[in-house]
Structure 1
């Protein structure tokens, strides 16, 4: 199944770009992680606010808070598409490396995605 590509792009024929389902789900996960609640006018609660934690002190508490935010936000916004199995957060110098392991409901395939979240992410 093909879905509209994110971020919105055009293909070589000038049509709206499309993604395969596995790419589409990864793009949705990135949207949830990189969107700050309040950023979207029509969905003010969308996102998880992880970028705000990047500037906190590098500590186990920040990693734990990030794991909780990511897990709950993915369950809230993508529960119909995926089942989150694990979220791991590594605190880097000026970023967070978020690893999400999930099962795609449609295919029952297990997928591992890593997303680096920095304070200056678009």
Structure 2
């Protein structure tokens, strides 16, 4: 399709974090396409359920594991929480796989690898989200 961009399929919205557009000082910075989905995933994973007053269910339950031992059991629980949250809150994607494992270079970090496909154009993407446990 000539002339149709990724953002034409996936939409455009406010970028995260919200801020002014450097090219249009009166406007808000926007994002679209695959980048908008990537930002949305990071926002979902970074939000604790109950944190948003008008949407108390929004977010991901991984924050319940912040004081857990960084082991395979915690990694499994985190993987399940990520799958459930993305299935509920990000309808533009199909989650193909979620794999969480302790970071070999940081014993307080759990690396969450998310493989997903956008529903509108079947493009596949990968995102690695670092999660810190105490």
Scaled by the length of structure 1, what TM-score is found? Answer: 0.90
Structure with higher Rg: it is 2
Determine the structure 1 residue equivalent to 2:19: 9
Which whole-Å CA distance do the structure 2 matches of 1:4 and 1:95 have between them? Answer: 29
SS of residue in 1 equivalent to 2:16: coil
Q: Deviations over 1:70-117 (max 9, x none)?
A: 001100111x20000000101231122111000001111000011112
TM-score (norm 2): 0.82
Q: Tell me the number of residue pairs that the alignment of Structure 1 and Structure 2 aligns.
A: 119
C-alpha RMSD of the superposition: 1.5
Q: Which stretches of structure 1, 4 residues or more, deviate above 6 A after TM superposition? A: none
Quote the residue 1:55 is aligned against.
Answer: 67
Structure 2: any 5+ residue segments left out of the alignment? 1-6
Aligned to 2:128: 114
Hey, what's the Cα distance between the residues in 1 that align with 2:89 and 2:63?
18
**How big is the shift at 1:119?**
5.5
